[in-house]
Every structure is written in C-alpha cells, then in structure tokens.
Amino acid sequence: MKNNEKKTKKLFSIKYRLMIVFGLLIVIALSISNFAAVKIARSVSMQKVEHNLVNKAKDTAKIIDARIDTMFRVLEDLSRQSFLRDPEMEYFQKVDLLRKEIKFNKLFREIYLVENSGITYFKDGSSAYYNEEQWFIENQKGNRYITEPYYDSTIGNLFVIAVSVPIYDDNKKIIGILYADMNGLSLNKYIKDIVVGKTGSCYVIDKTGVTIAHPNTENVLKQLNMIEKGKQDKTMASVGAFLEHGLKQEQGDVGFYEYNKKQFIASFAKITGTGWTVIIKAPVYEFMKTIDDMRTTLILIGIGISLLSIIFILIISRSMVKPLQKVSKALKNIAQGDGDLTLRLPVTGNDETTEVSKYFNETIEKINNSMKQVLQGSTEMERIGETLSTNMTETASSINQINANIEGVKGQVLSQSTGVTETSATMEEIIRTIHSLDERIANQITSLQELMKIIDDSNTTTAETRNILNKNDQLIAELVEESKNGQSVISESEGEVQSILEESGSLLEASTIIQNIASQTNLLAMNAAIEAAHAGESGKGFAVVADEIRKLAEESASQAKVITASLKNLSSEIDSVSKSSNNIGMSFNSIFEKVNQVKMRSAGIMKIAETRKVQSEKLLKLIESVDNITSEVKSGSAEMLKGGEQVAKEMQNLDELTHTITGNMNEMANSASQINNAVQEVSNLTQQNKNSIEHLSKEVSKFKV
C-alpha cells in the first residue's frame, strides 16, 4: 500500500514551479508591452502620414492652380493687345499676330479668335460656331474658363485642354473671346514627379470623377471615370466610394480604400480655380513596414529576454532549493537510515534558508542530547532494577523471620498501628500533591523561558526593520533630489523648445516673403517677354533673359512652398515635443508627491517599531519578574517535598517498629504472608521493568549520538 502511494505521489520541485510562474509572468508582461508599443507607433506613424498626405495634396492643388492662373494671365495679357481692339484690322491679320505672340510662349499649341456671335475661322477657310459651348457662355459673362481634356472634332479629333478669356474694348465691353488650346496631357507634367513612399502617386479628377491627369496616360486618354466603374465593378467599389466622398468635400481630408486586395491610404484637396480634385494615394504597407520590422525585433528581443530570465530563475531557484534538499536528505537519513544524530547542515549566507539550517542543527542537537540522557538513564535504571530485585529477595526472607515473632505483641500495638496507617496515608497524599505542584512549576518555567526567547527574537527583528527603514529613508531622500533635478532639466528643455518655435515662425514669414517676391518676379518676366515680342528681332535676346528669369521665379516660388511646408511640419513636431515635455514635467511632480507619501509612511512604520520595542522590553521585564517568583515558589516546594519525605521516612521507621512489636500476632503473621506475596509481585514487576529498560536501551542504541 505504501509503495503504491510513493509511486503515485510524484515530487514536483519548487524550482520548476518558480520557472513556470515567473516565465509566464515575463512572457505576459513582454507581450503586453510589445503590443502597446506597436499600437502606439502605428497610431503616431499613421497620424503623421495622414497629415503629410493632406499637406501634399493641398500643395499640389495650389501648384496646379498657380499654373492654370499663369495660363489665364498670359492669355489675358494677349487679350489686352491694342490690335485686337482695332476695327480696321482684318480678322486673319489679328490671328497671325496672336500666333506670333504664342511662339515665344510654349504653353499653348494653337490660339483662336472667337467673335461675339460664337463663330471662329480656320486657316483652310472653314468656320465653326461655339455659341452653345459652356466656355463661350461663361466668357460672355466675363468669366475665365478652362475645359477638362477632351477630343475636339473641329480640329481633327485632337486631345486638348482649352483656355479662354473675354476680350474687352476701351469701354470694358466684351468684343470677342480669346481661345487657346494645349496638349490634353499637359497636366501630367505637374504630377509626374510627385511620388509618395515607394510606389505612391498623384492624379487629378474633374467634377464628375473623370481622370484628367494620371501617371498612366492611358487612363487620361480613355477618360477613365473610376466612380462609375466602381458602381459596375465590385473590385473598384471601394475606390469609387472614396472618390465620390472626395468630390463632395470642400476641405482637404484623408481616407482609405481597397484595390487589388491591397489597402491604400489617400488624401484629396480641391483646386480652387477649377473645382477639380487632386488625389494622392499610396499603399498602407509601405508606411507600416518600419512598424512591422519593429514588431518583429521586439518579439525577438522578448524571446531573448524570456530565455535569459528563465535561465536566471533556474539558477536562483536551484540556489534556493539546494539547502531544502540537504534538509530533506538529512531527515530522510534519520527517519529511514542509520539514525545519525551527529549530522549537521552547513550554515552559510544570510537568508531564510540559512535560518532553516541553523534551527535544524539546533533541533538535532537537542534531540542528540535528549537521546544521550535517555541512554544514560536506561543504564542507571537497569542497575537499580538489579539492586531492587536482590533487595526484594532479602526482604521476603526477613518477613518470614518477623512472622514468627508477631503473635506476642499483637494486642499492644493495634491502636498504634491504626494511627500510623492513617498518618502514613495522609503523608503519601501530601507528597503526591507536592510532586504534582513541582511538575507544574517546572512546566511554567519552561514556558516562560520559551516566551522570553520569542520576545528576544521579536526585538532582533524589530531592530533589523529599523535598519531597513533607515536605509529606505536615505534612498527616498536621493530619489527626491533626482526628481528635483529632472524637473529643472524639463523646464530648461521647454524654454529651448519655445525658442526654436519662435525662430521657426520667423523662418515661415521669410518664406512667405520669398514667395511674394517670386510671384512678382514671374509677372515682371511675363510682361518683359510680351514687350520683347513687341520689339521683334531686336528683342529676342531680351526675351530669352526674361524667360530664364521667369523660370527662376517659378523655381524660387516652388522651393519657397516646399520650405513653408517643411517649416509647418517642423512647427507641428516642436509643438508636440513641447506638449510631451509638459507631460513629463507633470509626471515628475506626481513622482515627487508619491515619494513624499512613501517617506511619511516609512516614518510611521519607524514610530510603530519604536513603540513595539518599548512594549517588548516592558513585557520581558514583567516575564523575568514572574520567572523569579516562580523560581522562589519552586524552591519552597522543594523544601516542602524534602520535609514530607523526612516525615514519611520517620513514619516508615515507626511502621517497622510496629511490625517488630506485633511480631507475635497471628493477624500480623497473615499480614506478613500477604506482604510476602506482594514482594513476590513486586519482584515480578521489577523483572518486567528490567526487560522494558533493556528494550529501551536497544532502541536508543540505534541512534548515532
């Protein structure tokens, strides 16, 4: 039965439990921290991407709007030419002069002069009416107008974009329309260099969703409408819904859609002058690749930390379990082995296992001493048993001799015998009572000594607690000082961030001034080009210089806008850093308050420890006083026991005298015979006691002392 229990009850070591518990805690903590870090990084990264995409879309819309405005300005400058207001000049003479003007400007492919009736004439003598076209109606109202790319059937079905402005006379009355067209793919050059991430791009759609500028020119030539296609093709539904949402919004924004099983992030912005929408899109995974790499790195680091922690826990647990294994081995040797009570555990270190080894050694030492005393006592009892057996034999022989002389003195000692018997019984009762009192006093002294030892141990623990609290106070003071230093550093950092923010504001103003200068320079260069055209051959050189100045002004304006966007982003980042610094400062204040609370609680614990020490000292003195009184009572009890034994001895002498006097009595003879039988029984009991003592000696000898 016992063997079966040993087989089923398998030992599960503490070190494996520690490894499992702490290993799980470490894995859970690392998993939670990695998840939170990746989630926060994704959120922050996506916010920055969304912000940059919206700004990029707005900047692109402004650039295209500026280009279109330039076209209108050039065309309006041409519409102010004096020969257009000359009624004497022929129609084709005016057209020829206009064509000469646009040769110096590569913006337009061809230019046309449309009369108020809506008719225009071509080189081959044909004509066409445009009085029902939307651009003609808008121009008649005095508005500028630019068309989306379209196929013009009047000029051989060419794919063009048309720009038109009204022509005014000196009285500000519309006398005609100046109409110019350009390549329908002209808008592509404004977006071809816009790349977001690795594969992200930019495209433009009109008010109905038709693509009018795209890196893939086929989409423009086919006049692809992804909104309509999304309604017919489910794979394009997400794209169509996003674009439809973008057309309805007046302000720039960002959104997501799915295409070809990939998720895209896209921003949109309106072109103010035309109502067209600029779209900038890129795959989401290109922006999240760094975050995914970071997550993988964190997972690998977490695995490494977990393995190192498990190894460290294994080492620590082995060092903790090793002393317990020694204790278990020693106890097993005593319980199941040769009972070696001389075995001692090494006492090293300064922890709980050290105390276990120390008290184990003390316990074994006490058991060893007790076994020695038992062994010595059993030997002495064996010797006394032999002596008692011999005395019992001699006593039986003496009683037989006394029995012959009892009858003579029977009557004389009957009354005396009765008194002696009663007195002897009373004294025996008194002696038993004194023995019981003496045993109780001995137990009380032992209990008081154990209680005094417990109080001494408690005082030692209290002193150690005070030392630990004193060290904690020192550490808390250092932590308070470090918190103050951290607050000072954060305050200085906030000042520096504010200075940088002010400087970036100044740079932003400078960038705005540069853009204005570039705009004015561009306008001057355009006017200079027109004047150079008027000068004919003599102004060609000046026209080249003017064109270079215009290009330089456009490049300056473009770079100034890029600088402005960068400065805005920088201001946003600096503002974010300032907010983070404020949050860190608040955290330091919170830490400072918590440290002060810990310090106050530590002082309270110290006060309680002092009070406990005083109370323990008072209790120890009281117990010592009780111990002294108990010792005095024990001394009195010993004297009483000694006196009682003396009285009992005298009574025994008197009883022996009575037996001598009544030696001749028949009744005393019978009593002597009974005494003889009792002596025989005592002799038997003595033999049994001797056997028990031998058995005890045998059992005690099994232990090695």
DSSP labels, 495-542: HHHHHHHHHHHHHHHHHHHHHHHHHHHHHHHHHHHHHHHHHGGGGHHH
Best mean pLDDT range from 91-100, 295-304, 620-629, 671-680 = 91-100
Per-residue pLDDT tens over the stretch 304-328: 887 887 787 777 777 767 777 777 7
In this predicted structure, what is the pLDDT of residue 6? 45
Residue 12 DSSP label: -
In this predicted structure, what is the pLDDT of residue 404? 60
In 3-state terms, what secondary structure has residue 274?
coil
414-535 and 540-661 helices cross at what angle (nearest 10)?
180
- How much of the chain exceeds pLDDT 70, in percent? 70
Average pLDDT of the chain? Answer: 77
In this predicted structure, what is the pLDDT of residue 1? 41
The span from the CA of 471 to the CA of 477, in Å, is 10
Residues 6+ apart with CB under 8 A from 697: 375, 378, 379, 382
Q: How confident is the model at residue 4 (pLDDT cuts 50, 70, 90)?
A: very low
50 and 261 Cβ atoms separated by less than 8 Å? no
Residues 6+ apart with CB under 8 A from 403: 663, 668, 669, 672, 673
In this predicted structure, what is the pLDDT of residue 168? 92
The number of beta carbons lying within 10 Å of the beta carbon of residue 264 is 20
The span from the CA of 411 to the CA of 413, in Å, is 6
In this predicted structure, what is the pLDDT of residue 262? 86
- Which tops the pLDDT comparison, 382 or 196? 196
Per-residue pLDDT tens over the stretch 434-453: 777 677 777 767 776 776 77
Amino acid at site 322: K
The arithmetic mean of pLDDT across residues 345-354, rounded, is: 70
The arithmetic mean of pLDDT across residues 532-548, rounded, is: 70
**Range(s) within the chain of domains with CATH label 3.30.450.20:** 40-293
The arithmetic mean of pLDDT across residues 393-399, rounded, is: 68
Q: How confident is the model at residue 5 (pLDDT cuts 50, 70, 90)?
A: very low
Per-residue pLDDT tens over the stretch 505-522: 766 676 677 777 767 777
Q: How confident is the model at residue 194 (pLDDT cuts 50, 70, 90)?
A: confident
Q: Is the pLDDT of residue 569 over 90?
A: no
Q: Which residues of 53-69 are buried (b: 16+ CB within 10 A; e: fewer)?
A: bbbbbbbbbebbbbbbe
In this predicted structure, what is the pLDDT of residue 340? 66
In 3-state terms, what secondary structure has residue 396?
helix
Long-range Cβ contact pairs of 676-681 (< 8 A, separation 24 or more): 676/396, 676/399, 676/400, 679/392, 679/395, 679/396, 679/399, 680/396
Is the whole model's pTM more than 0.85, yes or no?
no
In 3-state terms, what secondary structure has residue 679?
helix
- Topology of the domain covering 40-293: Beta-Lactamase (3.30.450)
Residue position matching structure tokens 């270190």: 349
* Chain centre to alpha carbon of residue 578: 24
Q: How confident is the model at residue 648 (pLDDT cuts 50, 70, 90)?
A: low
Q: 346-490+610-704 — its CATH code? A: 1.10.287.950
In this predicted structure, what is the pLDDT of residue 145? 93
In this predicted structure, what is the pLDDT of residue 214? 92
Best mean pLDDT range from 12-26, 230-244, 348-362 = 230-244
Per-residue pLDDT tens over the stretch 218-268: 989 999 999 898 888 888 888 889 888 888 888 888 988 888 888 888 999
The arithmetic mean of pLDDT across residues 194-202, rounded, is: 84
In this predicted structure, what is the pLDDT of residue 697? 67
Q: Phi and psi for 232 in degrees, rounded to 5?
A: -100, -30
**Range(s) within the chain of domains with CATH label 1.10.287.950:** 346-490+610-704
